[in-house]
Amino acid sequence: MTTLSPGGTAVGPRKVRRATMNDVARLAGVSIKTVSRVVNDEPGVHPSTAERVLAAIDQLGFRRNLSARNLRRGSSTGTIGLVLEDVGNPFYSGVTRAVEEIARLRGRQVISGSSDEDPGRERELALEFCSRRVDGLLIVPAGLQHSYLVPEMRAGTPVVFLDRPAGDVVADTVLVDNIGGTIEAVTHLAAHGHHRIAFLGDAPDIFTANERLRGYREGCVRAGIGYHEELVVMGPHDEHTVTSALRRLQHGREPATALVAGNNRITVHVLRALAGAAERPALVGFDDFELADLLSPPVTVIAHDASALGKAATDLLFARLDGDNSPPRRVVLPVRLVPRGSGEVRA
Amino acid sequence: MTTLSPGGTAVGPRKVRRATMNDVARLAGVSIKTVSRVVNDEPGVHPSTAERVLAAIDQLGFRRNLSARNLRRGSSTGTIGLVLEDVGNPFYSGVTRAVEEIARLRGRQVISGSSDEDPGRERELALEFCSRRVDGLLIVPAGLQHSYLVPEMRAGTPVVFLDRPAGDVVADTVLVDNIGGTIEAVTHLAAHGHHRIAFLGDAPDIFTANERLRGYREGCVRAGIGYHEELVVMGPHDEHTVTSALRRLQHGREPATALVAGNNRITVHVLRALAGAAERPALVGFDDFELADLLSPPVTVIAHDASALGKAATDLLFARLDGDNSPPRRVVLPVRLVPRGSGEVRA
DNA sequence: CCGCCTGGGGACAACGTTGTCATAGTGGCG
DNA sequence: CGCCACTATGACAACGTTGTCCCCAGGCGG
């Protein structure tokens, strides 16, 4: 790491008090209310007066204090709170982007935070956002207890849950079709002749992981290949656990010839574990990911759209802000199987 | 998309005025100041009084209004503004994550927005954040004009530029070693016998694109293979432009046998264009990306660390908030060549 | 018994803005 | 010339909180 001293227009170290409307008013020789009128484009200000005011604003570098404004107006703070699992995860950053996009169209800023799957952290973030009087809250729930939000919701802050439902509160929720997706994955593999299909899922206390497990089971039953517990490996996964799970699944008495991976992270771990392996089981991953089509073989996935998820949730939120009082809705977004090769291997 | 009506504990539609300290005080039979003392853990409140107050807070679902608090206190709003190019881009979401991490340790929330490489949008976002009186600003500059920030900086809002320097303001800046990285890429390819090495870069008005071009040029000169303008293709790129550029480069009189891609997006476009091609030029990409090691051949890259970038910038920002008055610094983070296969093809 | 100190608590102003209402000037019209 | 309508502007309170200062009761030493 190198440190250089740059050249150019420097900003003096002298720290100046920030100008207020009062300062502007004094400089322009008008009352503070007139400044307010100019700043807010209210009518009834003589053009020449407005010009003087604008000049003063420019000279002082005045910028109106939104804290004060929000306090006085009491209504909207122009912010949306977004609590997700991890902004660094491409899936959630896609969601974030979509949320930001729509918020922008509606003149709102997004404040976001990562819960890291920790219910306490989620709560802390959500309540912090409420203290900031966000206009609405979008939450990817980490736990199952959300009654702490009831006072906020009663006070008029709309809340939409994303990707997973809340535990003990009824509110708008946007999900993807986890069960349908995994059923389709299993059906697809079975149609290619596999009857020993394994499932690697995330920790079963995570809603989506559990749903996908249910879909897997249902898929097995429908395909007539039966549900075999020894083919399921749940739990928080890292590269190591996935590798050893795979070894076990592939080398038992009746080895698995196909695999369903429960989310994008697990899929990547599987790919890494299988890299260079002589015999590769057929694979379908839940969640699409970039470059899946460029791997060899290309990875077949159950795809769903992060930005669609973000958009649906944000639309729902703004509908509430626009006064929609209808009962809470649960929206389930479709998924689709994208066959690319890795899932079309014949048993 | 399916819509269902869920079951569970519903929150009545009755919208209640949000409780204030005044309401709490009335209910607890104390003065508002005492409530304030309890909420802020100030000493001098009898335990039994505090208990009554806490009960009232709980009953009313009171949550203190941070707008009012910030207004009154005048000091910190507990927020950091982050302006980047696109939260949806994995590189920037890595940066965001690192920023959030450190901000959290220092008790700050992050407000972020995407400029989409539009200077006007960047300015709008940054000034909006200033109106919200963020404690500091982290900016991935979109343009070259940042004098609009001078009043804010004078007023004491520290600003750190990320990934690219500001145009006309001297401020803390964190960059990566773009020039050194591309020099290394070219050197690496030349060492494997290539002397027709092409460069596909982003639009040349983007600082990093221009720097990397300079590095490429310097690398060519140092390697003794000379700089040939016809081997350089700059400009905003999509899959189509990359494909046709590649066709031209590979089928001229003296075809390029190796390629440097100017950023992660371009690298992906190149990979897609080359997918299934009979003869593949050697390739080194700037920016690392997930799964680069699992492609065939694995992609050699100039790697640098998004989270290190975010961390360095945020550390710098907090140093300023802690009172560091030293002259603005420019930090250049190292990059490293990660050989994986695609760049080690012999000419 | 008096003065002083201390712990607990309250009154009030102020932060920077905006909503409400009042007021001074101006020009038109009967 | 007086009245009205209208335009341009200002005075003032209020938003919800916290900092400053003040007060009261009770305990304790002299």
Q: What is the pLDDT of residues B16-62, one digit of tens each?
A: 789 999 999 999 999 999 999 999 999 889 999 999 999 999 999 99
CB of residue B32 closer than 7 A to nucleic acid strand D? yes
Q: In what order do the strands lie in the sheet with A232-233?
A: A232-233, A197-200, A258-261, A282-286, A300-303, A336-338
Q: Which two tokens stand for residue B92?
A: 């920037």
Confidence of residue A17 (pLDDT cuts 50, 70, 90): confident
Cα distances from B272 to residues A100, B85, B279, in angstroms, run 29, 24, 14
Structure confidence at residue B331 (pLDDT): 97
Helix B21-28, helix B32-39: angle, nearest 10: 110
Q: Looking at residues A175-193, what average pLDDT do you find?
A: 98
Cα(B246)–Cα(B43) distance, rounded to whole angstroms? 71
Give residue-wise pLDDT tens across range A211-259. Answer: 999 999 999 999 999 999 999 999 899 999 999 999 999 987 899 999 9
Tell me how far apart the alpha carbons of residues A331 and A95 are, in angstroms, rounded to a whole number.
16
Q: Hey, what are B217's tokens? A: 């040029």
A134 Cβ partners below 8 Å, 6+ apart? A77, A79, A80, A81, A111, A157
In A137-193, which ranges are continuous DSSP H helix?
Answer: 150-154, 178-191
| Residue B112 in contact with partner chain A when CB distance is under 8 A | yes
Cα separation, A96 vs A202, in Å, equals 22
Is a pLDDT exceeding 60 seen at residue B302?
yes
CB distance B137 to B159 below 8 Å? yes
| B113 secondary structure, DSSP code | E
Nearest to A1 among B12, B104, B334 (CB): B334
Residue A64 main-chain phi, psi, to 5 deg? -70, 145
What pLDDT is stored for residue B339 in this prediction? Answer: 98
| pLDDT at position B134 | 97
In this predicted structure, the answer to whether residue A88 has a pLDDT above a threshold of 80 is yes
Query: Over 80: is that where the pLDDT of B15 sits?
Result: no
Identify the weakest region by mean pLDDT among B12-21, B156-165, B313-322. B12-21
Tell me what the mean pLDDT of segment A74-90 comes to. 93
Q: What is the pLDDT of residue A298?
A: 96
Predicted pLDDT of residue B10: 57
The answer to whether B121 contacts chain A (CB < 8 Å) is: no
- Count of alpha carbons within 13 angstroms of residue A304, beta-carbon side: 29
Nucleotide nearest to A72 (CA to C1'): D15
Does the CB of A333 have a partner CB in chain B at under 8 Å?
Answer: yes
Nucleotide nearest A33 (Cα, C1') = D10
Rounded to 10 degrees, the C-alpha dihedral B318/B322/B328/B333 comes to: -30
pLDDT at B11: 58
**What three-state secondary structure class fits A158?**
coil
Instruction: Give the pLDDT band of residue A10 (cuts 50, 70, 90).
Output: low
- Portion 254-313 of A in contact with B at CB < 8 A: 268, 271-272, 275, 289-291, 294-296, 307, 312
Cβ contact B82:B113 at 8 Å: yes
* Tens of pLDDT, residues A103-117: 999 999 999 999 999
A73 touches chain B (CB under 8 A): no
Greater confidence (B304 vs A11) lies with B304
* Mean per-residue pLDDT of chain B: 93
Q: In this structure, what token pair is assigned to residue A341?
A: 């090769």
Residues of chain B neighbouring A268 (CB-CB closer than 8 A): 290-291
- Residue B191 Cβ under 7 A from any strand C atom: no
Note whether A133 contacts B290, CB cutoff 8 Å: no
Q: Which residues of B10-39 are buried (b: 16+ CB within 10 A; e: fewer)?
A: ebeeeeeebbbbebbbbbbebeeebbbbbb
Closest among A303, A297, A295, A286 to A338, alpha carbons compared: A303
Give residue A133's region: left, alpha or beta (phi > 0; psi -120 to 50). left
Q: Is the CB of A272 under 7 A from strand D?
A: no
Nearest to A71 among B18, B68, B104 (CB): B68
Using the predicted structure, report yes or no on whether residue B5 has a pLDDT greater than 50.
Answer: no
Distance (Å, rounded) from C-alpha B329 to C-alpha A2?
10
Find the CB nearest B131 among A5, A64, A111: A64
Rg, chain B, Cα only: 27
Which of A132, A169, A334 has its CB closest to that of B1?
Answer: A334
What would the two tokens of residue B136 be?
Answer: 């500091």
Q: Distance between CA A279 and CA A344 in Å, rounded? A: 14
By mean pLDDT, which of A19-28, A113-122, A180-189, B12-21 is the weakest? B12-21
CA A207 from centroid of its chain's CA atoms: 15
Nearest CA-CA distance, residue A228 and chain B, Å: 31
Whether B111 shows a pLDDT value over 70: the answer reads yes
Residue A332 confidence (pLDDT) above 50: yes
Residue B129 has pLDDT above 70, yes or no: yes
Does position B206 have pLDDT exceeding 70, yes or no? yes
Q: Which domains does chain B carry?
A: 21-64 (1.10.260.40), 77-176+307-333 (3.40.50.2300), 178-303 (3.40.50.2300)
Q: What is the DSSP letter of A205?
A: T
Share of chain A above pLDDT 70, in %: 96
Query: Which residues in chain A have their CB less than 8 angstroms from residue B181's CB?
Result: none
- Nearest to residue A117, comparing CAs of A144, A90, A151, A149? A144
The per-residue pLDDT for range B243-294, each reduced to its tens digit, is 999 999 998 789 999 999 999 999 999 999 998 788 899 999 999 999 999 9
Say yes or no to pLDDT of A5 above 80: no
| Res A320 pLDDT > 80 | yes
